[in-house]
């Protein structure tokens, strides 16, 4: 999976990679040439006392060293640029894929895991690419070149290499094989830590309200300890790698000096050649050590690449139409015909055979007990997920055939949990319509009953909004979310229990102003509060995903037991009448 991901990611950077490999080849060749020059200086200059020879070849060594330095700097430069570009491309690819996901895929992965995959996992792959270009490209050239140069110096002494290289390879391979499953478990437990931390930050008020600080500390402590234990297990195995390599290096150096001294004593080689052979042995072993360092990164990077590729290979269940409808009659008529929806693996569908008709100039309300499928029903219209069977029509066209940008302009959804982005009040209101004027923003705020509190903020429209809108109250957040949709001016307004955080007076004032603002549009309201929907032109009653009643408030009170139970659980008989 890692090779597949890198092959795709590195394809646009073939020219820089070819230049990098050429630079690495030059600098490695220069490194391999230096011990031979050093041997010549010892054998022909130092031994014979020839100062001119020493100075001449010393100058040549300086020139070769300079070439090595320049090529090494160039290789690192291009390696760093390419690896950073690969990391940028992978983050963008994962982000783009996640943006295409429906609510189904987002729920499948979970927000903490997607954050980890976009940041930490991509960083691990990026680091592997950097080390590959700066270390791994030169390591095999150094190893093969060192063996070739050592053989050219003394074939018999090179027999030591036949024992050194396989021992190094086997010891490193055994450690890497043991660590790979630990790295996968490490990334999974990192997801858990992110999830617990995210829950605790988001639910901080709930934790304080129920005095669950100690419990949450213990929960985070368990997740943290689990991650620590796996990290320590992997670290202990990795800690064996360098000592094993160093032991082999020292033993091989002793063997080379021992047998080399015997070769010198029998006039089989010269002192300078032994010095060069030791240098080549060190270069070979250093190449293996560089490869070892790489192998420490490979198992974790491979696990991360699998997790990244899993996201990239997941297709959204909401597929863009092949031949999209790019124009609509712009009437705003909404209709559901026999719409069903079932989550993957669920025993029963959330919605079953839902029929709904909402016309322009009318307010259609949907009410039902918790879990009856009200929010899911609204989610089918803007294609947060697609109906598993049946049809969802806007102006007579199936939403699965409508261009997604056009559908987004036609349908405005105020979600059950309104979310504001970090920025200003104005930037949030213009989120769906960037060209809206300040006058239009103030008009939307006035209808949403938010003008007074926004005017009181320092900066007004330019007042700062924190991530998630945590610096305003829940009711203010809901009103800003409603104003944001009003600025967009869609043909169909969907309010998913968007008035629940408002007091009764504000709720009534907002609905009164909203009815005048949206008199030509189609309005669908999902609500738990009966007072919010009792004046709707049409009320649809849901029970366990099925429509069990359609009519006005008085009609349903007279003839629908489910609706009557809901109303009387909130109002008295006199208030309901």
Per-residue pLDDT tens digits for 232-264: 988 888 788 778 777 877 887 787 788 777 777
For residue 457, give the DSSP letter: S
Quickly state the pLDDT bin for 299 (edges 50, 70, 90).
Answer: confident
Quickly state the pLDDT bin for 100 (edges 50, 70, 90).
Answer: confident
What long-range pairs does 434-439 form, CB within 8 A, spacing at least 24? 436/487
Rounded-to-integer distance, Cα 191 and Cα 202, Å: 16
Rounded-to-integer distance, Cα 475 and Cα 14, Å: 55
Give which of 186, 260, 259 is closest to 227, Cα–Cα.
186
3-state secondary structure of 173: helix
pLDDT in tens, 144-168: 888 778 777 777 777 777 777 777 7
Q: Which whole number is the average pLDDT over 518-531? A: 86
pLDDT in tens, 467-493: 888 888 888 888 899 999 999 889 999
Mean pLDDT, the chain, whole residue set: 84
Q: Which of 128-137, 257-266, 398-407, 537-546 has the lowest mean pLDDT?
A: 257-266
pLDDT of 27 above 70: yes
Residue 537 CB partners (closer than 8 Å, separation 6+): 362, 363, 364, 552
pLDDT at 88: 93
Q: Which residue has the higher pLDDT, 49 or 66?
A: 66
Counting residues of the chain whose pLDDT is more than 70, the rounded percentage is: 97
pLDDT of 41 above 70: yes
- E strand segments, 98-207: none
Helix (H) or strand (E) holding 254: helix 241-265
pLDDT of 317 above 90: no
CA dihedral in degrees (284, 290, 292, 295; nearest 10)? -140
Residue 91 CB partners (closer than 8 Å, separation 6+): 118, 119, 122
Q: Is the dihedral of CA 176, 179, 181, 187 positive or negative?
A: negative
Counting residues of the chain whose pLDDT is more than 90, the rounded percentage is: 12
pLDDT at 143: 80
What is the number of other CB atoms lying within 10 angstroms of the CB of residue 145?
21
The answer to whether 230 touches 189, Cβ cutoff 8 Å, is yes
Helix axes 122-131, 51-100, angle to 10 degrees: 160
What region does 186 belong to: left with phi over 0, alpha with psi -120 to 50, or beta?
alpha
Q: Which whole number is the average pLDDT over 173-177? A: 76
pLDDT of 89 above 90: yes
Q: Which residue has the higher pLDDT, 575 or 300?
A: 300
Rounded-to-integer distance, Cα 469 and Cα 478, Å: 10
For residue 401, give the DSSP letter: G
pLDDT at 459: 87
pLDDT at 575: 61
Q: Which residue has the higher pLDDT, 438 or 40?
A: 438
Task: Please give the distance of CA 547 from its chain centroid, rounded to a whole number.
Answer: 39
Q: Which whole number is the average pLDDT over 318-347? A: 83
Rounded-to-integer distance, Cα 121 and Cα 126, Å: 9
pLDDT at 574: 63
pLDDT at 122: 92
The answer to whether 130 touches 7, Cβ cutoff 8 Å, is no
Residue 337 CB partners (closer than 8 Å, separation 6+): 355, 390, 391, 393
What long-range pairs does 499-507 form, CB within 8 A, spacing at least 24? 499/527, 499/529, 499/532, 500/416, 500/527, 500/528, 500/529, 501/473, 501/474, 501/475, 501/477, 502/449, 502/475, 502/478, 503/475, 504/531, 506/449, 506/475, 506/479, 507/531, 507/532
Rounded-to-integer distance, Cα 164 and Cα 169, Å: 9
pLDDT of 383 above 70: yes
**Beta-strand pair 397-398/389-394:** antiparallel
Quickly state the pLDDT bin for 202 (edges 50, 70, 90).
Answer: confident
Quickly state the pLDDT bin for 213 (edges 50, 70, 90).
Answer: confident
pLDDT of 271 above 90: no
Rounded-to-integer distance, Cα 344 and Cα 404, Å: 24
pLDDT at 94: 92
Task: Please give the distance of CA 421 from its chain centroid, rounded to a whole number.
Answer: 18
Residue 310 CB partners (closer than 8 Å, separation 6+): none
pLDDT of 577 above 70: no
The answer to whether 41 touches 91, Cβ cutoff 8 Å, is no
Quickly state the pLDDT bin for 70 (edges 50, 70, 90).
Answer: very high
């Amino acid at each position: 999976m890692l090779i597949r991901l890198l092959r795709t990611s590195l394809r646009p950077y073939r020219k820089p990679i070819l230049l990098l490999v050429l630079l690495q080849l030059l600098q490695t060749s220069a490194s391999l040439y230096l011990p031979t020059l050093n041997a010549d200086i010892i054998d022909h200059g130092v031994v014979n006392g020839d100062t001119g020879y020493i100075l001449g070849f010393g100058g040549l060594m300086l020139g070769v060293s300079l070439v090595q330095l320049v090529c090494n700097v160039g290789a690192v430069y291009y390696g760093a640029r390419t690896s950073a570009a690969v990391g940028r491309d992978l983050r963008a690819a994962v982000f783009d894929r996640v943006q295409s996901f429906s609510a189904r895929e987002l729920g499948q992965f979970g927000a903490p895991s997607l954050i980890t995959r976009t940041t930490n996992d991509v960083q691990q792959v990026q680091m592997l690419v950097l080390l590959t270009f700066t270390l791994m490209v030169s390591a095999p050239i150094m190893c093969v070149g060192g063996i070739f140069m050592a053989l050219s110096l003394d074939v018999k002494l090179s027999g030591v290499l036949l024992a050194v290289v396989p021992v190094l390879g086997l010891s490193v391979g055994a450690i890497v094989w043991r660590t790979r499953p630990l790295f996968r478990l490490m990334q999974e437990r990192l997801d858990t830590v992110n999830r617990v931390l995210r829950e605790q930050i988001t639910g901080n008020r709930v934790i304080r309200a129920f005095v669950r600080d100690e419990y949450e500390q213990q929960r985070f402590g368990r997740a943290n300890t689990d991650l620590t234990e796996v990290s320590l297990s992997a670290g202990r195995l990795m800690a064996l790698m360098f000592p094993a390599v160093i032991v082999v290096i020292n033993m091989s150096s002793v063997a080379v000096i021992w047998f080399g001294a015997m070769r010198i004593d029998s006039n089989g080689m010269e002192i300078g050649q032994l010095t060069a052979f030791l240098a080549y042995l060190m270069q070979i072993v250093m190449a293996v050590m560089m490869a070892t360092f790489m192998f420490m990164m490979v198992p974790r990077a491979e696990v991360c690449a699998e997790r990244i590729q899993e996201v990239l290979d997941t297709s959204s269940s909401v597929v863009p139409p092949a031949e999209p409808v790019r124009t609509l009659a712009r009437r705003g008529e909404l209709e559901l015909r026999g719409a069903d929806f079932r989550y993957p693996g669920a025993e029963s569908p959330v919605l079953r055979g839902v029929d709904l008709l909402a016309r322009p100039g009318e307010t259609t309300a949907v009410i039902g007990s918790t879990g009856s499928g009200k929010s899911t029903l609204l989610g089918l219209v803007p294609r947060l997920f697609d109906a598993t069977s049946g049809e969802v029509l806007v102006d007579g066209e199936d939403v699965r055939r409508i261009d997604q940008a056009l559908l987004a302009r036609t349908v405005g959804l105020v979600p059950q949990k309104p979310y504001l982005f970090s920025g200003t009040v104005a930037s949030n209101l213009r989120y769906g319509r960037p060209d809206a004027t300040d006058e239009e923003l103030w008009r939307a705020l006035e209808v949403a009953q938010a003008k007074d509190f926004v005017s009181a903020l320092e900066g007004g429209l330019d007042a700062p909004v924190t991530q998630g809108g945590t610096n305003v109250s829940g009711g203010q957040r809901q009103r800003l979310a409603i104003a944001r949709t009003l600025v967009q001016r869609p043909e169909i307004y969907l309010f998913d229990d968007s008035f629940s955080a408002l007091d009764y007076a504000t709720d009534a004032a907002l609905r009164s102003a909203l009815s005048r603002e949206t008199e030509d549009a189609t309005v669908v309201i999902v609500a738990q509060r009966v007072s919010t929907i009792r004046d709707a032109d049409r009320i649809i009653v849901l029970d366990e995903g099925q429509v069990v009643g359609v009519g006005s408030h008085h009609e349903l009170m007279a003839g629908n037991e489910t609706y009557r139970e809901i109303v009387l659980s909130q109002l008295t008989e006199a208030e309901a009448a």
